[in-house]
Amino acid sequence: MRTKIIAGNWKMNTLFQEGVTLANNVLENTGAVASGTSLIFGVPFTHLKSIAEISAKHANVSVAAQNCYFETKGAFTGEVSAAMLKSAGCSHVILGHSERRQYFNESEAIIYKKVLATLYEKLKVIYCCGEPLEIREKNKHKEYVSEQLQGSILKLSEKQINNIVIAYEPIWAIGTGKTATTEEAQEMHAHIRSAIKAKFGATVAADISILYGGSVKSSNAKELFAQPDVDGGLVGGASLNAVEFAAIVNSI
C-alpha cells in the first residue's frame, strides 16, 4: 500500500524555540493526518527530540533527521549515528540531498553507506535524487537519475527497498521558485518507478512512495500531487511558514 507523504525539510533554519513553535503551529493548522498519509518534519539535530515528542501526540506525524554518519560509533568528532537519531525519536533520515552532494562532497558511494547504516537501525530513508540544469538542457535527465539510483538504492534487497521513500528533486527547482511542470515531474516519477519495477517487481514498484521536491508551494501542490506517480512532496522553503505548509499538507 503506497503511503502519501508530505515532508518538510527545514534545512539549517530556525532556532530551537522557533522550531518548536513552527511544528506546533503547523499541527494546529492541519486537521488529523489521515491513515495512509504521513506528515514528517525534517528538522535540525538539535530539535529532533522535542519535535519527536510533539509529533508523537499526533497519529501519522513523525520526525526526520537531515543527515547521519555511516559508522555506528567511535572517534568521529561532530558526527551523529543512525542509532543516536533513533534514540532521539526519529523515524526517517533524509539522505542524498543535493545540498549534501554539492557542499559536502557526498558521492553516491557515501550515500549508499549512509542508507545501509540507517536501514540497519530500522529507520526509513528519504532518498533524494535529481539532475542539475545543464543535464536537463541536454535531455539526459533520465539517464542521470538512473545512474544515481544504480549507485545506491537499486543495490538494496527487496526487504530493504520497502523502507525507502524516494524524493525526486531537480536541482534547478530547489529554492529557485521554478517548479518542474506537472508533466516533467510525472515523466521522471514514472521513469523512477519503472526502474524500481525492473529490479524489484511490480508490487514493490506500486507500493513505493515517490515524492516531488523543488519549490513546492500551496499554489502548485494540488496539481503536482494529482499526478499518478507523485505521492507527495519534500518541501523546503514553504515548510518554514506554518500556514503555507499546513495548506500543502491539507492538499494531499
Q: Which residues are catalytic?
A: 97, 169
Contact 199, 166 (CB under 8 A): no
The dihedrals phi and psi of 223, each to the nearest 5 degrees, come to -65, -45
Q: How distant, in Å, are the alpha carbons of 23, 49, 65, 136, 170 from that of 97?
A: 22, 22, 12, 18, 11
SS3 content of the chain, % helix, strand, coil (to 5): 50, 15, 35
The residue at minimum Cβ distance from ligand PGA is 236
Q: How far is the CB of 200 from ligand PGA (least distance, A)?
A: 25
Give the footprint of ligand PGA on residues 133-172 (CB under 6 A).
Answer: 169
220 binds ligand PGA (CB under 6 A): no
Residue 193's SS3 state is helix
131 binds ligand PGA (CB under 6 A): no
22 binds ligand PGA (CB under 6 A): no
Comparison of 99 and 205: residue with beta carbon closer to ligand PGA: 99
Q: How far is the CB of 223 from ligand PGA (least distance, A)?
A: 16
Q: Which runs of E-coded beta strand occur in the chain?
A: 4-9, 37-42, 61-65, 92-95, 124-129, 164-168, 210-213, 232-235
Question: Quick one: which of 23, 145, 174, 247 contacts ligand PGA (CB under 6 A)?
Answer: 174
Comparison of 101 and 193: residue with beta carbon closer to ligand PGA: 101
Question: Quick one: which of 19, 44, 170, 214 contacts ligand PGA (CB under 6 A)?
Answer: 214
Question: Quick one: which of 82, 216, 221, 247 contacts ligand PGA (CB under 6 A)?
Answer: 216
40 binds ligand PGA (CB under 6 A): no
33 binds ligand PGA (CB under 6 A): no
Task: List all residues 6 or more positions away from 161 whose beta carbon is below 8 Å from its beta carbon.
Answer: 153, 196, 200, 204, 208
Comparison of 126 and 161: residue with beta carbon closer to ligand PGA: 126
The three cell numbers of residue 132 are: 542539475
Contact 211, 173 (CB under 8 A): no
Residues that bind ligand PGA (CB under 6 A): 9, 169, 174-175, 213-216, 234-238
